[in-house]
Amino acid sequence: MDAYLISVGTFAALNVILALGLNLISGFCGQVSLGHAAFYGVGAYVAALASVNGVWFPAALAAGVAAAAAGGVVTGVASVRVREDFLAITTMGVGFLFLGVVRKAPWFGAEMGISKIPSPLGRSGYALLAAAVAIGMVALSLHLRRSWMGRAFDAVAQDEDAARTLGIDVAGYKLIAFLIGTATAGLAGGIYAHMTQLVVPDAFSFVASVTILAMVAVGGIGSTWGVVAGAVLLTLMPELFRFINDYKLLVYGGLLLVVMRFSPDGLAGLAGRLGGVRVR
Amino acid sequence: MYYLELLVVGLVWGCMYAMMALGLTLVYGLLRILHVAHATVFTLGAYLGLLVANATGNLALGFVAGAIGAGLLGPLIYRLIYQPILARPPHVALVASIGLLVAMEDGFRLVFGPYGLAFAHNPYMTTTWSLAGITVNTVQLWIVVGAVALLTAFAPFAVRSRAGVAWRATVSDPAMAESFGVDVIRVRYLAFLMGSVLAAVAGVLVGLLNNLVEPGMGNVISYKGLAIIVLGGLGQVSGTLVASLVLGVVESFGTIYLGNVMDRDAIAFLFLVAVLMVRPQGLLGGAH
């Protein structure tokens, strides 16, 4: 395979990881987050910083995961305190806060970001790593749906107060959802940083968060295979149709709008209505 | 004097936020929708205002064109996008709204070019007025006067007029309001129209202030508008107005004290997160 295909495939796998992580938080557990790219960014920045300072690659990735998960738990604590629309805006705020700090902080390289990150793997090495993590995420999502925890997430998403009445630890499950979703985003960030050898603030902006949300919403929020399809589709679209590269955001935004307006449950819902298949 | 100046600059921004946030709060109060696409109305207002002002040489005409043209966009967004998906979970309307904002920003870029446009004749930005040692330019003065005038005109309307009473009744209980003969749909159109006219006027004013109208000019203001209505305790007009002014002042002082740690937008959201952790219902909101 040529280098181009491998790198597109790696990005598709990274986006699957990010989208499934967000789907776990917003789809399974019902906590809408508008700042998922911030955790991707935390993972990328921390792993990059560690690697630049000579830390062993797996340890650097682990540091990124730990930092993103820590940020996720803090945000999860916020989700226990504030609900629904308040939470959506709070997570958006977390995204802006992260961006505002890395843009100014000299140890994060400010606007220039971190460059010359050591790259211990080859091109196909990153592709295999990302694909393995993505497959792991799919397996986890499918398993969670059928597990006790998945049903508890669902109860929290459907009706928090009713779930609490049934003795479900609402706060605990919200924290777990945020923990898993953001830790995996951090891992994706670490892989991304080493693969591209450069991290800059703009890669993790609000638009990036919206793009991840777009993958989840277009695929069908809550549906694992739908979200995988959404992530792959939105990654490949600009590549397949080079001519829309100039209008990338127009198409992204338009697609979000059209899907929400005409098929609010996304591709998964569409497949259900047209083909009679229930997409998990 | 230095602090007084910071305070004044903060209040000017606060007035601008108030014009933007009022529409967001009107919409949220009625429909429980976070109307992110309000930024599109703001930006369209700025473009229309600039194009008409530059073509006719008459700025007043520009304001009128912006207010009418972009003002009508709000009700149109409601009719074509929000109305059919009102029964869906809240994230559906939010994502649709973000989609519209993102697409329209690219649309503005394709139609008007990526670098932004400037007013042909804009002496207002450089004409300054001094009072008691504080210097403001004409546009800043207009922002304050405009916001105060428009919002004061809004107050008796909301409290006394038939439409205002209908709006408040619909906010507190749509079903009850409808059964008492309130035309709920008309109230919604009116809320979108009023909010959009205010946002459009704010757009033209910000265009004049920076002498630049660009595709993404409304985005950050709209995100902050959402922060403001959350701070004000979602759907409460008085809370929103107070939160607008407070946020403007906090940002203004924050850039002095925290400017080398984080940027202006991060300060606004830090304040938001901090307040919500202490008071989850917002600054003035009552307990849920």
Asked if residue A183 has pLDDT above 70, the reply is yes
Query: What does the mean pLDDT of chain A come to?
Result: 85
Closest partner residue to B269 (CB to CB) among A81, A96, A210 is A96
User: Which of A154, A218, A260, A265 to mutate to probe the B interface, most B CBs <10 Å?
Assistant: A260
Return the CA Rg of chain B: 19
User: Which of B104, B229, B230 to mutate to probe the A interface, most A CBs <10 Å?
Assistant: B230
Share of chain A above pLDDT 70, in %: 96
What ipTM did this prediction achieve? 0.81
Residue of A nearest to B233 (CA): A86
From the CA of A116, how many Å to the nearest CA of chain B? 24
pLDDT score at B287? 45
Boundaries of every domain in chain A:
3-203
Mean per-residue pLDDT, A7-30: 90
User: Which of B31, B269, B270 to mutate to probe the A interface, most A CBs <10 Å?
Assistant: B269
| Closest C-alpha among A95, A107, A8, A96 to residue A48 | A107
pLDDT score at A278? 67
CA distance B92 to B32: 12
CA distance A141 to A181: 11
Record: contact B103-A103, CB cut-off 8 A: no
CA distance A78 to A32: 12
Q: What is the largest CA-CA distance in chain A?
A: 56
pLDDT score at A242? 65
Residue A238 forms contact with B (CB below 8 Å): no
**Identity of the amino acid at A183:** A
Interface of A with B in 247-266 (CB under 8 A): 247-258, 260-261, 264
Give the confidence band of A196 by pLDDT, cuts at 50, 70, 90.
Answer: confident
CA distance A32 to A94: 13
pLDDT tens digits along A139-178: 999 998 888 888 888 888 888 888 888 888 888 888 888 9
Residue A84 forms contact with B (CB below 8 Å): yes
CA distance B50 to B53: 5
Boundaries of every domain in chain B:
18-216
Assess contact for A43 and A188: CB atoms under 8 A: yes
pLDDT tens digits along A75-122: 888 777 776 777 888 888 888 888 888 888 777 777 777 877 777 877
Residue A19 forms contact with B (CB below 8 Å): no
Record: contact A261-B269, CB cut-off 8 A: no
Report the relative pairing of strands B128-131 and A198-199 from DSSP bridges: unpaired
A147 φψ region: left (φ > 0), alpha (ψ -120 to 50), beta (else): beta
- Chain A residues in contact with B274 (beta carbon < 8 A): none
- pTM comes to 0.84
CA distance A194 to A199: 9
Residue of B nearest to A26 (CA): B91
Question: By CB neighbour count within 10 A (0-12 exposed, 13-18 middle, 19+ buried), where does B278 fall?
Answer: exposed
pLDDT score at B9? 82
From the CA of A3, how many Å to the nearest CA of chain B? 30
CA distance B91 to A84: 9
